[in-house]
Amino acid sequence: MQDNGFTDIDFTELTEDMTRAFEECQRLANEYMREQSLKSGLPSMDPMNIGNALIDMSAQMAANPEKMMEMQMSLWQDYLRLWQNSVRKAMGDTDVDPVIKPAQGDKRFRDDEWQENQVFDFIKQSYLLMSRWMTDIVQENARTSPKDAGKLDFYTRQFVDAISPTNFAATNPEVLRETVKQHGQNLVQGMKNMLHDMDPKTGNIKIRMTDTEAFELGKNIATTPGKVVYQNDLIQLIQYTPTTKKVYKTPVMIVPPWINKFYILDLKEKNSMVKWLTDQGYTTFILSWRNPDASMADYGFEDYMTHGPLAAMDAIKDATGEESINAVGYCIGGTLLTCTLAYLGAQGQLEDRVKSATFFVTQVDFSEAGELTLFVDEEQLATQIKAMDEKGYLDGDIMGQTFSSLRSNDLIWSFVVNNYMMGKDPTAFDLLYWNADTTRLTKTSHQQYLKEFYLENNLIKPGKVKLKGVPIDLANITIPTYIQAAIADHICPYASVYKATQHFTGDRRFVLAGSGHIAGVVNPPAANKYNHWLNDKIPDTASEWLEGAMEHEGSWWTDWHKWLSKKAGGRKIIDARMPGDGKLPLLEDAPGTYVRVRNDTEES
């Protein structure tokens, strides 16, 4: 076995180093607690509302002791095999198969020591056996409602992920190596990093995932040239500078989600969708949402529609002279676009104003909306509304933490190990910078989105949702639609996204991309990553669609361009439109002012 630093460790010296490091960490913590109050002032709560589900599960376990004994015996048998295998290895037997292996794609145990060192291999397998047993216990005994069973499963996985041996300095070989190398100073630096990330007002820790000082909007991120050509109290409208001499007749309007910043579609030149669209010859506009403050608490979906897509469409007409657009919506921006299209359709204006609509990972039917539904029920919604009463908005960090918890090993614990145990600073990564640049949600829009759509699924019920007094019916969306989903999307599962094909009534095309909620969308052809699946037919369910689909190499953007160009006129025949050529004045350079307002700052 290759010498990796453990063979000649002086464990007495290691113990002394770690003791000194922990003493220094304790001193730093005590110093911090003397200087700052860690009381948040928030009432205690059951954030997942799982109390009743846990009680029900306990009753099931008590009522079925035979099953519990069977599962307990199975665990002991697995541990006995693990112990026997460990003895065989200690006696020199090299042909010993593991009792259990990490799941494919589990990055936590990639260090060689987890396989080659008997102690760490035993720790790893012991943890995996206990993890499997705990999740099996929940799945076997959760005889409550599907939602409560889902909560228990989610909560158990969160706990199991948290107690992984990789998350503790004494049982992580990488951390131990670094501790030996630095004589414990990595742990001291890790404590300093933790204190740096701690909010002095609440004591809450916001884990840094990237070097936030490495990026500046308009300098090395969100750099595609353009101008803000329109502004109201909710949006800035950006028109991008053309890169071709001729352009398609019909402009493109992108409605991004307002729970994130728009520049996910313009991170840097090589993966910028807006840059790619201009390079294909599309006159491209994008909405940049204002980060709301307390004065906007009452802004709901109707306001977002009126001051968002509808206002932008009028402005684009002034900028280009074109009566109609090709619309694009991303995630909740796509849900808002759906409402807008149905609103226009109910008034007989849709086909005159919008030629086509494209939806990126957008849900309109929330009957199978994935794990985020675990965070939505009457009790949790009431708690969230009460928490928003004072500020008038939901802090973006809360939503960010919710999304991170869906992939806690990748988006939480890996950074805990890197920042607080290895004592390293996070690297500069544009995607993670964007992910940390969260936005606030107004109280009313947040309440409507969760209650009307997630909880009651009213958007698919004709007339149940009304905007500006107009009943919304998705059957009124009669224009051609291009619906994109991502096969590994944890936020908007592809089967849920597919349901839109059963509610829209115009020509529909569905494409399934590789990867997840972000990389499945932001996948430029030049990267040659993440294949996609196509099927010209639209059967009743996503599973039927996938059975008849054919896989194609690379990005789905090329298929979209082929489809979109026909809706934009088919040929580039219009002289390139520069921002300012029309009736709208140039207000400022892209990316504008609204996008620069961060959660921890107020608007100037």
**Residue 144 clears pLDDT 90, i.e. is over it:** no
What is the per-residue pLDDT across 422-443, written as a single tens digit (0 to 9) for each?
999 988 889 889 988 989 999 9
CA-wise closest residue to 218 among 206, 226, 210: 226
Beta bridge partners of 486: 513
What is the per-residue pLDDT across 268-284, written as a single tens digit (0 to 9) for each?
999 999 999 999 999 99
What is the per-residue pLDDT across 434-483, written as a single tens digit (0 to 9) for each?
988 989 999 999 899 989 999 999 999 999 999 999 999 999 999 999 99
Residue 9's pLDDT is 61
What is the C-alpha to C-alpha distance for residues 32 and 37, in angstroms, rounded to an integer?
Answer: 9
Q: Is the dihedral of CA 132, 137, 140, 145 positive or negative?
A: negative
What is the C-alpha to C-alpha distance for residues 140 and 339, in angstroms, rounded to an integer?
Answer: 41
Q: Which structure tokens are listed for 274?
A: 């807006």
* Residue whose tokens read 């026997």: 84
Band (pLDDT 50/70/90 cuts) for residue 44 is very low
Q: Which structure tokens are listed for 321?
A: 């002279």
**Residue 78 clears pLDDT 80, i.e. is over it:** yes
What is the per-residue pLDDT across 95-119, written as a single tens digit (0 to 9) for each?
889 999 999 888 999 999 999 999 9
Helical pair 273-280 and 557-567, crossing angle rounded to 10 deg? 50
Residue 461's pLDDT is 97
What separation in angstroms does the CA of 342 have from each of 474, 529, 594? 6, 35, 28
**Residue 43 clears pLDDT 50, i.e. is over it:** no
| 67-81, 166-180, 297-311, 370-384, range with greatest mean pLDDT | 297-311
Q: Where are the beta strands (DSSP E) in 320-465?
A: 325-330, 354-360, 393-394, 441-442
What is the C-alpha to C-alpha distance for residues 484 and 481, in angstroms, rounded to an integer?
Answer: 10
Helix, coil or strand: residue 354: strand
Contact call for residues 247 and 576 (beta carbons, < 8 A): yes
Name the H helices within 360-418. 378-388, 396-405, 408, 414-416
Q: What is the DSSP string of 229-246?
A: EEE-SSEEEEEEPP-SSE
List the domains of the chain with CATH numbers.
Answer: 36-167 (no CATH), 226-372+441-596 (3.40.50.1820)
Contact call for residues 339 and 301 (beta carbons, < 8 A): yes
**Residue 295 clears pLDDT 50, i.e. is over it:** yes
Burial 450-476 (b: 16+ CB within 10 A, else e): bebbbbebbbbeeeebebeebebbbeb
Catalytic residue IDs: 331
Q: Mean pLDDT, to the nearest integer, of 322-328? A: 97
**Residue 599 clears pLDDT 80, i.e. is over it:** no
Residue 89's pLDDT is 87
Residue 413's pLDDT is 85
Helix, coil or strand: residue 11: helix
Residue 518's pLDDT is 93
Contact call for residues 579 and 586 (beta carbons, < 8 A): yes
What separation in angstroms does the CA of 266 have from each of 111, 221, 414, 437, 579? 35, 7, 26, 14, 18
Q: When comparing pLDDT for 500 and 391, which is higher? A: 500
